[in-house]
């Protein structure tokens, strides 16, 4: 049998290890991507490495998250990021240029290359044949310095697409179908590679919607081949010279295969409060809505906004609805303005937001209390919208636009024939808001505002851990639960002492005070602990508060890595029944834990209830050393010379 595309790209970038599922490998990143919610910390970490200039082919710093400037903090961080980019050889995408993933797809994606980004939706560029992986900011900082990125060799899942989508059925419905079947835990330790005759029917923006939201499966990444449809996209972006064909060998081998018949798919909706809570639209049609939001890095392409505008043209949004539309990039914004689609959206009553993450990250447009909001976004975790009792539904732009007219979730197939749309032969190209770095930035100074605080470092792993359990959590706790986003908290991303006051803010607002009083503490979690975003602050802030270990049933990939990177010991219950026995307030003791971690199993004594149980870990030998030395930054500085 032939080789699949994913393994071919991994082999091309392999630095160490063997491509055997479950084994640790390290790979070289061609490109890196950061955004302003994670970037400030990433560049502080890069500075701490003492390397004068990035060593990647290309690194880009985007401003797209912290766009509400209600105080000095965001503006100061943006100035820091711009000056740091100039000094260290990084391209800088200015505020207003667009959402990092949309812009990177348009202007920098490169088939066959490997992109590492400090955002969980970095896999968007997989729609253009790139192996694009989300990671914590510290991992990205190390990659910018020329260091390898370590990961467990994933299983490769081939997704066989048959047929073609029927009218009113969207690319969003393909990833919804996978989430419906596999759940938010179904992609952990896996990469999804799409193949089959159905691939050719999908444009690059449609493919990128699928790879973007593949992050909600817990997948390492997702990828499409680079074919003639990809070439058309690159030609329209006026960078055909960067295109190259990439594909699997004939008759490729996959660890698993999933088959989806596109002919049989219908419109679907993800119900509150998880992206995998997916049902056919018929089951929720008629649900009254208070808000409709179109945009996010999942669905803010020119195609997505054009189809929305065509649905709304000559009509008015329901008086019961507040509707917002977010163009994903300045390119998209300019093109809908010139095509007339922008006027159609405005005349319909939709509110036009700037090209940024916006409501998807809880940065404005929080829905009314106890009301339903229909969004084309990728996540609907509870409270993520900014409203504590939110009821967020997820759907395609087609469903969202039709539902905005009726004021309730509506099957677009009852709306008549879909509007005819043509794919542009050329996109508007204006890269003036992308600032290239000077050839030499040695003489430049990095601007630092008062909100940028020194980078805290973890201590080496103690010989014995003895600490109380301060919180016990259910399954599928996300990084939004651990450290929320939103307009009040995001501006503190460069200030760990301040942002640590919001750890578990919506689950236990007293947690920071209790953690500081305890001095050392332990967290107990369920399965898939830490799902969602790449935000390393969800590990960094607990470390700052004295969290020494987490005991969970299973972990999401990125958060598990971030815990190790910041010196928090991630343990797994050897017997999940032990999870049930632990109570909040129990004091747990792990004697001789430094020695025990080297052996793979740790004896945990519940001093409060006077019993012992066994926990294990799935750390590599390298990760054990990282933990023993107090995190990745300490480890790299000690061993990189």
Catalytic site positions? 64-65, 119, 379, 533, 535
Helices 330-339 and 302-312 pack at an angle, to 10 degrees, of: 30
473, 529 Cβ separation under 8 angstroms: yes
Read off the tokens for 616.
């294990």
**CB within 8 A of 108, min separation 6: which ones?**
31, 58, 60, 125
* Residues 534 and 119 sit within 8 Å (Cβ to Cβ): yes
Contact 481, 525 (CB under 8 A): no
Residues 569, 181: Cα–Cα separation, whole Å:
32
* Cα gap 139→136, rounded to integer Å: 5
Backbone angles phi, psi at 71, to 5 degrees: -150, -175
| Beta-strand relationship, 190-195 and 465-472 | unpaired
Question: Nearest 5°: CA angle at 12, between 9 and 15?
Answer: 120
Measure the CA–CA gap between 249 and 287, rounded to whole angstroms. Answer: 47
Q: Could you give the 3-state DSSP secondary structure of residue 116?
A: strand
**Phi and psi angles of residue 177, each rounded to the nearest 5 degrees, phi first:** -65, -40
Number of other residues whose CB lies within 10 A of the CB of residue 374: 29
What is residue 441's DSSP assignment? -
**Chain position carrying tokens 């501006």:** 491
Phi, psi (deg, nearest 5) at residue 242: -90, -5
SS3 394: strand
Output the six-digit token pair for 610: 């006077």
Contact between 122 and 134 under an 8 Å Cβ cutoff? The reply is: yes
How many angstroms separate the CA atoms of 547 and 543, rounded? Answer: 5
φ, ψ dihedrals at 107, nearest 5°: -110, -20
Distance CA 329, CA 347 (A): 21
Residues 560, 578: contact at Cβ < 8 Å? no
Please give the torsion angle defined by the CA atoms of residues 18, 22, 23 and 29, in that order, rounded to the nearest 10 degrees. Answer: 70
CB-CB neighbours of 609 under 10 Å: 12
Round to whole Å and give the CA distance between 191 and 447: 39
Q: How far apart are CA 246 and CA 188, in angstroms?
A: 25
Query: If you write DSSP's letter for every residue of 456-499 in order, what string do you get?
Result: P-PPPPPS-EEEEEEEE--TT-BHHHHS--STTTGGGTT-HHHH
Contact 607, 466 (CB under 8 A): yes
Residue ranges of alpha helices (H) inside 241-388 are 302-312, 330-339, 341-348
- The phi, psi pair for 445, rounded to 5°, reads -105, 145
């Amino acid at each position: 049998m032939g080789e699949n595309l994913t393994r071919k790209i991994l082999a091309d970038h392999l630095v160490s290890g063997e491509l055997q599922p479950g084994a640790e490998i390290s790979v070289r990143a061609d490109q890196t991507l950061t955004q302003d919610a994670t970037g400030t910390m990433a560049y502080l970490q890069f500075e701490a490495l003492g390397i004068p200039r990035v060593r990647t082919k290309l690194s880009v710093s985007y401003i797209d998250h912290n766009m509400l400037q209600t105080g000095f903090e965001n503006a100061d961080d943006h100035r820091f990021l711009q000056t740091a980019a100039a000094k260290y050889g990084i391209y800088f995408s200015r505020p207003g240029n667009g959402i990092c993933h949309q812009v990177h797809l348009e202007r920098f994606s490169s088939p066959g290359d490997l992109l590492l980004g400090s955002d969980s939706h970095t896999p968007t560029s997989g729609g253009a044949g790139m192996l694009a992986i989300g990671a914590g900011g510290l991992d990205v900082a190390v990659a910018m310095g020329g260091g390898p990125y370590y990961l467990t060799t994933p299983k490769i899942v081939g997704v066989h697409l048959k047929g073609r989508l029927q009218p009113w059925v969207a690319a969003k419905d393909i990833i919804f179908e996978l989430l419906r079947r596999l759940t938010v835990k179904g992609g952990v330790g896996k990469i999804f590679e799409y193949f089959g005759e159905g691939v050719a029917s999908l444009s690059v923006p449609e493919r990128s919607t699928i790879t973007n939201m593949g992050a909600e499966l817990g997948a390492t990444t997702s990828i499409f081949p680079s074919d003639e449809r990809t070439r058309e996209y690159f030609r329209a972006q006026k960078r055909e010279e960067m295109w190259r064909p990439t594909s699997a060998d004939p008759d490729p081998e996959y660890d698993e295969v999933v088959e989806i018949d596109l002919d049989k798919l219908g419109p679907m909706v993800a119900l509150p409060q998880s992206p995998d809570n997916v049902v056919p639209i018929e089951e929720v049609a008629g649900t009254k809505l208070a808000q409709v939001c179109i945009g996010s890095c999942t669905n803010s392409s020119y195609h997505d906004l054009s189809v929305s505008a065509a649905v709304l043209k000559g009509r008015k949004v329901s008086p019961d609805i507040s509707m917002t539309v977010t163009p994903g990039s300045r390119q998209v914004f300019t093109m809908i303005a010139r095509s007339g689609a922008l006027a159609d959206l405005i005349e319909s009553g939709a509110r036009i937001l700037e090209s940024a993450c916006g409501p998807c990250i809880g940065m404005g447009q929080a829905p009314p209390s106890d009301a339903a909001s229909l969004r084309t976004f990728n996540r609907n975790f509870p409270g993520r919208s900014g409203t504590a009792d939110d009821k967020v539904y997820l759907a395609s732009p087609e469903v969202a636009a039709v539902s905005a007219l009726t004021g309730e979730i509506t099957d677009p197939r009852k709306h008549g024939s879909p509007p005819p749309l043509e794919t542009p032969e050329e996109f508007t190209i204006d890269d003036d808001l992308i600032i290239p770095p000077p050839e030499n930035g040695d003489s430049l100074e990095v601007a630092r505002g008062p909100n940028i605080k020194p980078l805290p470092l973890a201590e080496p792993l103690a010989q014995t851990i003895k600490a109380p359990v301060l919180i016990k959590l259910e399954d599928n706790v996300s990084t939004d639960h651990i450290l929320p986003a939103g307009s009040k908290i995001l501006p503190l991303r460069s200030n760990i002492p301040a942002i640590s006051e919001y750890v578990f803010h919506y689950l236990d607002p007293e947690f920071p005070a209790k953690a500081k009083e305890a001095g050392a503490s332990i967290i107990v979690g369920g399965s898939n602990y830490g799902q969602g975003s790449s935000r390393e602050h969800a590990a960094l802030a607990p470390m700052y508060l004295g969290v020494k270990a987490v005991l969970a049933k299973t972990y999401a990939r990125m958060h598990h890595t971030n815990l190790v990177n910041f010196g928090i010991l991630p343990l797994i219950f050897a017997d999940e029944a032990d999870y049930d026995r632990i109570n909040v307030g129990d004091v747990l003791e792990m004697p001789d834990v430094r020695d025990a971690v080297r052996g793979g199993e740790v004896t945990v004594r519940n001093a409060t209830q006077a019993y012992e149980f066994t926990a294990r870990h799935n750390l590599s030998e390298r990760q054990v050393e990282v933990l023993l030395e107090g995190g990745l930054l300490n480890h790299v500085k000690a061993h990189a010379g």
